[in-house]
Amino acid sequence: TSFIFKEVCGYPLSIFFIVVNEFCERFSYYGMRAVLVLYFKYFLRWDDDLATSIYHTFVALCYLTPILGAIVADSWLGKFKTIIYLSIVYAIGQVAMAVSAIHDITDTDRDGTPDNMTFHVVLSMVGLFLIALGTGGIKPCVAAFGGDQFSDHQDRQRRTFFSVFYLCINGGSLLSTIITPILRAQDCGIHSQQKCYSLAFGVPAALMLVALVVFIVGSGMYYKAEPQGNIMLDVCKCIGFAIKNRYRHRSNQYPKRQHWMDWAEEKYDKLLIAQIKMVLKVLFLYIPLPMFWTLFDQKGSRWTLQATTMNGYFGSLVIQPDQMQTVNPILILTLVPIMDSVIYPLINKCGLNFTPLKRMTVGMLLAAIAFVCAALVQIEIDKTLPTFPSTSQSQLKLLNMGSETVTIKIFNDFFVLQASNEYFTFEAGQINISVGHPEVRNTISLAKGQRQTLLIPLTITDEWLMTDDITSKPQEGNNAIRFVNGMKTAVNVSIPAANFGLIEPFSYSNYSLIKNGKVTFTLWSGSQSCEYSTDFGFGSSYTFFIPSTLVFGPNCQESITAAEDIKPNSVHMALQIPQYFFITAGEVMFSVTGLEFSYSQAPSNMKAVLQAGWLFTVAIGNFIVLIVAELAKLPKQWAEYVLFASLLVAVCFIFSIMAYFYTYIDPAEIEAQFKKNVNEDDEDNKHKLQKTERSNGKINVTKLSYYNMA
Ligand SMILES: N[C@@H](Cc1ccccc1)C(=O)N[C@@H](Cc1ccccc1)C(=O)O
């Protein structure tokens, strides 16, 4: 097809539209993904399990649909039209998501909650399906279409293009993962104000429309390779015939052929057979690759969970656990230029031939190192975690509700108690406690596997109270807080985000989860009130004790005592930076190189198909996470990290052997030779090829015979 070819600094101008398109599309995808689980949980009101399963199913679907997009592009519509049509599908999906998040549409009673949840669920599921079809479908086409814009001699420029392409992906995803959570946190609505998911999905929808418009604007400048018929069907038929023919000629009387695909020669074009061999060779090399993604994709799940058990205070800045993920695109934006302009040229200068497959091998090793770092951090975290009772043990803490100190005797040990912060561990089911002078004795039954607090009353002859305490770290960096009322009157405790309710005299509230930062509690007793402020870190649990002597006034700061049930997270989130550094350095070496490798080693009519094969390794990697985590079931998280690191090192070893035997090819050169020779007889053909071999020394005999040209 005809197109206007313009070059800027040796690069086709058309790639400008392609990289801007990719920037907007990735903004759209990652922005929507950043708030998806919260949308399920808080808008659609799904439980955690359903929300995470639907989320992972969606992500997996996004990496399976590239196969569909690639087949349509390479066999039928061509990459350009496939990108246009599937981008429209994608944008419709994003708009459907934005509309599904407008609560006012079905909020007939105007109470701020949707009244017809089915409408919102169905619309958002249709939206997600269209998005998965769109994003996955265009993904292999956009990268390959970008590669198509370069001519055969522009290898260096094409490599730079793939690096810039990767930078745009990460620029877009970085911006959107920062912006959409902010948009979601705004309040919006027509009749009532609610969290603004419609805006958080609306902006990605708008960016997808921008991506589409930018791509269409560049239309006249693209080189558009024509699809060459239903290539995938031909490939399948050709492979099927080769297998059948080989089976038919299995007896020793038939001479062996160099490659099993050569058994298709009786019926199929030699060029097609050669192209299939190229694809199969690369696909075979892909077999170990999913293991890299298995580790890579855990930064979104396991590493974020790890961050929830860490301290996120960076001076006055507080980093939330899921915000640590933005370290990845930030590092990509710095590492890709450093690698391209410093590290790789330096390695070249040292005379080392750092081939794509060697880079990918090093990338895998770096990812394994990242997991060893994660394991070391986990060991540090584990040291700070409380020791919870085993199923045969009980733990007990004592809290003196009176103002006088009391002497307590448990078995034969004496304790002088104001308020205790410590849990004592017991193997026995019952313990004898003697309190005060003269002694009051009591036999306490303890619950196995539980933590409990014994509230010793003001008058020790009164009834003794036992509370059940929290036995796991609060999730997602929250703090679990409760109040014990030691007063003779009921007290109401509230904060803007929670109400602990009315706490009866000598009793206690349930735990409430609150975020980190400074919190001011307001305590009410009748018309009297006072305020108590305190700072919370991440992942702690406290029991606040309101003493009988409390005097209501402007503040009750001095009177209330805090018993620490679980210490706040003390290992700093900055310790995760080395693991992020290594996994991202690994990603640059593995993923950026792999993207370009998949393009450069693919025959011209199957470029998108090989890109889809590359993305398929991501989908398989995600499934392996589920399988290994389910099968291994290791009691310690650090051991699981070490297991994944070891598996990757083993896989990396196998890959390096496979890579050693891989011979790089120039598909364009091989295809050109086939086309040149198509009408010439065998003798003439051989003669010409020998001449080529002598003149450019690039194509070697093994390669010619492998592709059956000689
Ligand atoms: N580094 C990632 C982008 C990212 C952004 C924010 C949080 C985590 C990751 C990236 O470049 N992704 C690329 C390539 C890729 C990586 C993994 C699986 C499939 C593709 C992308 O195209 O999204």
701 band by pLDDT with thresholds 50, 70 and 90: very low
Residue 686: band (very low, low, confident or very high) from pLDDT cuts 50, 70, 90: very low
**Same domain for 170 and 304?**
no
The answer to whether residue 166 is domain-embedded is yes
User: How many beta carbons lie within 10 A of that of residue 344, not counting itself?
Assistant: 16
Ligand 1 centre distance from Cα of residue 170 (Å)? 7
Q: Are residues 531 and 481 in the same domain?
A: yes
Q: What residue type is assigned to position 522 of the chain? A: T
Given a contact cutoff of 8 angstroms between Cβ atoms, the answer to whether 360 and 392 are in contact is: no
Q: Identify the residue with better confidence: 212 or 407.
A: 212
Tell whether 233 is covered by a domain.
no
Decide if pLDDT at 114 tops 50.
yes
Residue 1 — very low, low, confident or very high, per pLDDT cuts 50/70/90? Answer: low
Place of tokens 């050709």: 238
Query: pLDDT tens digits for 441-454?
Result: 778 888 999 999 98
**What is the band of 225 on the pLDDT scale with cuts at 50, 70, 90?**
confident
CA-nearest residue for atom 4, ligand 1, is 329
Q: Is residue 440 part of a domain?
A: yes
Q: How confident is the model at residue 483 (pLDDT cuts 50, 70, 90)?
A: very high
Give the model's pLDDT for residue 695. 36
Residue of higher predicted confidence among 285 and 488 = 285
Instruction: Check residue 638 and give its pLDDT.
Output: 94
- Token pair for 191: 């009749």
User: Nearest residue CA, atom 22 of ligand 1?
Assistant: 169
- Both tokens of 237, joined, read 């038929």
pLDDT band at 277 (very low <50, low <70, confident <90, very high): very high
467 versus 701: the higher-pLDDT residue is 467
Residue 5 shares a structural domain with residue 72: yes
**Residues 301-312, mean pLDDT to the nearest whole number:** 85
Return the residue whose CA atom lies nearest to atom 23 of ligand 1. 169
Q: Note the pLDDT of residue 28.
A: 98
> Do 146 and 177 fall into the same domain?
yes
Residue 593 and residue 462 in one domain: no
3-state secondary structure of 499: strand
Average pLDDT over residues 657-668: 93
Task: Kindly report the protein residue whose alpha carbon is nearest to atom 14 of ligand 1.
Answer: 591
The answer, yes or no, to whether residue 624 has pLDDT greater than 80, is yes
Is position 426 within any domain? yes
In this structure, the residue with its CA closest to atom 15 of ligand 1 is 591
How far, in Å, from the CA of 85 to the mean position of ligand 1?
Answer: 23
Q: Where does ligand 1 bind, in terms of residues with CB under 6 Å?
A: 26, 30, 166, 169-170, 173, 177, 325, 328-329, 332, 587, 591, 618
CA 706 – CA 400 distance, rounded (Å): 85
- Same domain? For 277 and 348 the reply is yes
Rounded to the nearest whole angstrom, what is the distance from the C-alpha of residue 139 to the centroid of ligand 1? 12
Tell me the best of 19, 168, 170 to mutate to test the pocket of ligand 1, counting ligand atoms within 8 Å of each CB and taking the most: 170
* 692 pLDDT more than 50: no
Tell which phi-psi region holds residue 235, choosing left (phi > 0), alpha (psi between -120 and 50) or beta.
alpha
pLDDT, tens digit (0-9, with 9 covering 90-100), for 157-212 = 999 999 999 999 999 999 999 999 889 888 898 888 888 999 999 999 999 999 99
Q: Above 80 in pLDDT, residue 79?
A: yes
- Same domain for 330 and 477? no
Does residue 461 lie within any of the structural domains?
yes
Q: What spacing in Å lies between the alpha carbon of 136 and ligand 1's midpoint?
A: 13
What CATH number is attached to the domain comprising 675?
Answer: 1.20.1250.20
Using one digit for the tens of pLDDT, what is the confidence trace for 571-598?
999 999 999 999 999 999 999 999 999 9
Instruction: For ligand 1, atom 21, name the residue with the nearest CA.
Output: 169
Asked if 463 and 507 sit in the same domain, the reply is yes
Token pair for 162: 């793939």
**From ligand 1's centre to the CA of 127, what distance in Å?**
22
Ligand 1 atom with the shortest distance to the CA of 299: 8
Q: Which residue range(s) make up the domain with 434?
A: 394-566
Question: Which residue minimizes the CA distance to atom 18 of ligand 1?
Answer: 618
C-alpha–C-alpha distance, residues 62 and 58, integer Å: 6
Same domain, 205 and 293: no
Ligand 1 center from residue 376 Cα (angstroms): 25
Report which secondary-structure segment, H or E, holds 311. none
Atom of ligand 1 nearest to the CA of 29: 23
> How many whole angstroms from 299 Cα to the centroid of ligand 1?
11
Q: Of the given ranges (78-82, 369-373, 610-614, 676-680), which has the lowest mean pLDDT?
A: 676-680
The pLDDT score that the predictor gives to residue 685 is 46
Q: 317-318 and 394-400 as β-strands: parallel, antiparallel, unpaired?
A: unpaired
The alpha carbon of 166 and the centre of ligand 1 are apart by a number of angstroms equal to 9
541 domain-assigned:
yes
Q: How many folded domains does the chain comprise?
A: 3
For residues 352 and 337, membership in a common domain is answered with yes
pLDDT at 89: 98
Residue with CA closest to ligand 1 atom 1:
329
Question: How far apart are the CA of 33 and the centre of ligand 1, in A?
Answer: 12
Q: Is 548 in the same domain as 590?
A: no
Distance of CA 445 to the CA centre of its chain: 46
Q: Is residue 50 part of a domain?
A: yes
Residues 620 and 513 in one domain: no
Residue where one domain finishes, among candidates 527, 547, 566: 566
Q: Which of 35-44, 150-159, 572-581, 668-677 has the lowest mean pLDDT?
A: 668-677
* Strand-pair category, 491-495 with 517-525: antiparallel
Kindly state the average pLDDT of the residues 206-234: 91
Answer for the pair 664, 601: CB distance below 8 angstroms, yes or no.
yes
Flag whether 130 is in a domain. yes
What is the Cα–Cα distance from 384 to 387, expressed in whole angstroms?
A: 9
Higher pLDDT, 10 or 379: 379
ipTM of the complex: 0.97
